[in-house]
Amino acid sequence: MGKIKRIRPNKVSLLKARRTSERQARAVDGERLQQIDGLCETGKFADAENLLDRLLVESPASALVLSKLGSVNYKQGRMTEAEAYFRKALKFDKQNISALIGLGRLEGDLGRVDSAAAFYNKTLKISPDNYLALNGMGGLFLKTGNLEMARNVFEKVIRLEPHSSEGLYGLGRVNASQAQFAEAEINYRLAILNRPEYAEAYHSWGIIQAKQGRYAEAEDSYRKSLDIRPDNINAMFDLAELYEKSNRLQESKEIVNRSLDVAPGNLGASRIMATLLRREGKPGEALKWLDSVSLPENNPAKSSEVHYELARIYDRLGENEKAYRHFDLTKKFQGLEPQSRKFNKDNFLQGLLQLKTFFTEERLKRLAAEKLPVSGLQPVFLVGFPRSGTTLMDQVLACHPDFSVAEETAALDMVIHKIKRLGKGYPDALDDLAEETLVELRQEYFSSLKRSMGGDKPTGIVVDKYPLHIIHLGLIAKLFPGAKVILAIRHPYDVCLSNFMQLFRLNDAMANFTNLTDTANCYDQVMSLGLHYMKFLSLQFHQIRYEDLVENFEETAKQLLTFLGADWDETVLKYYEYARAKTNIMTPSYQQVTEPIYKRSVLRFINYASFFTEPTDVLKFYVDRFGYDDVDDVLSATEDNSLNVNI
């Protein structure tokens, strides 16, 4: 007789427990489980948990009941309890899909991507077409910036389950991450159509509406998300930020306080509270909200936002070394974001070189001598290097009854896109453009301008404000030979410092502002091209210095209006009241232009002079060219206390 293979006692216990679990699972009252599922669908998690607790007493080894308890705790934000229930469920049934997916979600929420992926992969080995696990994997690909893999996964989910709200929502998030806002909106709409109480879809829809400047719609979407899930911290955060950026500060503070009641110490809410207090002129109180917060290890975007606010607080407190350090950390964390890898500062600089190579002195003189017919509406173009005071100028003009101001629209970019599709591309195709093609391009420009201004036809004197379109003055001269151009100038050191001190939404151009040296180099490349255009083109130019507007606002504004052919109007003196009434100033200057004129941004670089090392030689040429005092003399006078710098 052969030997009888003995089973270790712990394995015997496990087998017995599994058989007991299976029997108990089958014995669980199906009607009560249905009732529990219904309670969860309507958000009545406490009632569902009470029923599950009773079932657990009857069936203590039921993996089914344990996994449902894990899910209910997860939905109530009790992550530790949820994890304990999920892991206990797996002790009785290693292939319990609900527990595996639940642990995948938990690990993903905690930023432990590899561990989360392991749980989802275990699920997919058991059930290859499990769309919940696929959705989880898609979310991980999104989190790590692998958008193509995320798209493939969510498209598979939709093939398996065409009405899957989660799959449609995930695909919408991929679209949004790739700035495909129209496609994202369609997928969010479909997700909500299939699941009307989809709070996350409403919230994400609001995010893309806000990015497109549709702020009233974004507010409505955030509100709908919060109607469904009043405790949705992320929706509260985005609504509070929308109000803050729209200068609705009291409403923002109300939402922030509400979110802090739900989640005391929440990082996002604390950051916005600090912003609001700084804007109220209480930087010391603002600092208390952030000086001891713990930054997330795997969320560089959040870390960047917190360092940015700390930098602005320390700047306002006059602690410049600390401020500079936090501005530097802001840029470093922004560079760690997955989407940052898409952008390269050299792409923008290469584009500038291409324009400089094409627009030679000879070609510009020839363009100026063409005597192109001036017909139709000739816009005014407000250009300059970013942070040169263009937002202040456009608000001054916007409150004057004779002007329609378009703020940073894609109108000229759409024209460039059409030219790129011609044989030689942009800018080479400009040499051979027929008059009928120019007419079509002008029509494209005004159609795009109209769309960006809410479908209204521009009236009066149209001002197209887009600072970096200074690099396209050659194209502007070709399209609109009768156009007037306002060139915004600010002290070169101040303007470079200000760009370094901004948390811009990243693109190839903004990628040049991660340090002062790169910023100064970009300034040199942009402004040298702008001055090259101005030297040879026959456009009408008016140069306006930010400092002149600050020091002598009324006289400088009158000179600007005279150049534009408009009469003086007293409303321009209260431009900041007009700005406060607007809800769509979403440039980095949205805070400043709602205040009366102040001087703390003039010669601000003095406070950070020790950080200007390599950029000095590049910038000194422009200091002289635009009529500013010699930097060394200014710094020397400051040290001698003979110059009072208002910060």
- Whether residue 68 contacts residue 94, with contact meaning beta carbons closer than 8 Å, is answered with no
Tokens standing for residue 15: 């087998």
Look up residue 382 and give its amino acid. Answer: L
DSSP SS3 for 540:
strand
CA distance linking residue 472 with residue 468, whole number of Å: 8
Average pLDDT over residues 150-174: 94
CA distance linking residue 36 with residue 155, whole number of Å: 31
- What is this structure's pTM? 0.78
Q: What is the pLDDT of residue 455?
A: 67
CA distance linking residue 69 with residue 75, whole number of Å: 10
Average pLDDT over residues 205-234: 93
The contacts of residue 563 (CB under 8 Å, 6+ apart) are: 484, 486, 540, 542
Burial of 9 (0-12, 13-18, 19+ CB in 10 A): exposed
- Whether residue 421 contacts residue 507, with contact meaning beta carbons closer than 8 Å, is answered with no
Q: What is the pLDDT of residue 406?
A: 92
Average pLDDT over residues 87-100: 91
Q: What is the pLDDT of residue 599?
A: 67
CA distance linking residue 462 with residue 401, whole number of Å: 11
CA distance linking residue 228 with residue 203, whole number of Å: 10
Q: What is the pLDDT of residue 39?
A: 78
The contacts of residue 483 (CB under 8 Å, 6+ apart) are: 378, 379, 380, 381, 476, 477, 539, 540
Look up residue 485 and give its amino acid. Answer: V
Residue 459 has pLDDT above 90, yes or no: no
Average pLDDT over residues 426-449: 93
- β partners of residue 380: 463, 484
**How distant is the alpha carbon of residue 416 from its chain centre?**
24
Q: Are strands 484-489 and 461-465 parallel, antiparallel or unpaired?
A: unpaired
CA distance linking residue 316 with residue 304, whole number of Å: 18
Strands (DSSP E) found in 423-560: 461-465, 484-489, 540-545
| Other Cβ atoms within 10 Å of 48 Cβ, number | 24
More confident residue, 575 or 199: 199
Average pLDDT over residues 193-210: 95
Average pLDDT over residues 408-416: 94
Residue 59 has pLDDT above 70, yes or no: yes
The contacts of residue 321 (CB under 8 Å, 6+ apart) are: none
Render pLDDT for 252-291 as a digit per residue (tens, 0 to 9): 999 999 999 988 888 999 999 999 999 999 999 999 999 8
Average pLDDT over residues 116-123: 92
**How distant is the alpha carbon of residue 278 from its chain centre?**
21
Render pLDDT for 33-45 as a digit per residue (tens, 0 to 9): 788 887 777 778 7
Tokens standing for residue 295: 């930054």
Nearest Cα residue to 311 out of 607, 579, 518 = 607
Note if the bond before 427 is cis, omega within 30 degrees. yes
The contacts of residue 262 (CB under 8 Å, 6+ apart) are: 231, 233, 236
Residue 636 has pLDDT above 90, yes or no: no
Render pLDDT for 470-522 as a digit per residue (tens, 0 to 9): 999 999 999 999 999 999 999 999 999 999 999 998 999 999 999 999 999 99
| Other Cβ atoms within 10 Å of 615 Cβ, number | 23
Q: Which uninterrupted H or E stretch holds 227?
A: helix 215-228
Q: What ranges in 195-344 are assigned the alpha helix state H?
A: 199-211, 215-228, 233-245, 249-262, 267-279, 283-288, 300-317, 320-335
DSSP code of residue 180 = -
Nearest Cα residue to 248 out of 271, 224, 219, 282 = 219
Q: How confident is the model at residue 316 (pLDDT cuts 50, 70, 90)?
A: very high
The region of weakest confidence among 174-178, 256-260, 480-484, 616-620 is 616-620
More confident residue, 43 or 247: 247
Average pLDDT over residues 9-30: 49
CA distance linking residue 271 with residue 256, whole number of Å: 10
Q: What is the pLDDT of residue 199?
A: 95
Q: What is the pLDDT of residue 574?
A: 87
Q: Is the dihedral of CA 165, 171, 177, 180 positive or negative?
A: negative
CA distance linking residue 62 with residue 22, whole number of Å: 7
The region of weakest confidence among 81-90, 438-447, 568-577, 593-602 is 593-602
380-384: strand order across its sheet: 403-407, 461-465, 380-384, 484-489, 540-545
Average pLDDT of the chain is 88
End-to-end distance of the chain based on CA atoms, in angstroms? 97
Go through the chain and tell me how many residues it has.
647
Q: What is the pLDDT of residue 11?
A: 47
Q: What is the pLDDT of residue 595?
A: 54
Nearest Cα residue to 100 out of 126, 80, 78 = 126
The percent of residues in the chain predicted with pLDDT above 90, rounded, is 64
More confident residue, 475 or 599: 475
**How distant is the alpha carbon of residue 571 from its chain centre?**
33
More confident residue, 592 or 73: 73
- Whether residue 508 contacts residue 445, with contact meaning beta carbons closer than 8 Å, is answered with no
Q: What ranges in 399-515 are assigned the alpha helix state H?
A: 411-420, 435-452, 473-479, 492-500
Q: What is the pLDDT of residue 12?
A: 45
The percent of residues in the chain predicted with pLDDT above 70, rounded, is 90
The region of weakest confidence among 23-32, 102-111, 346-355 is 23-32
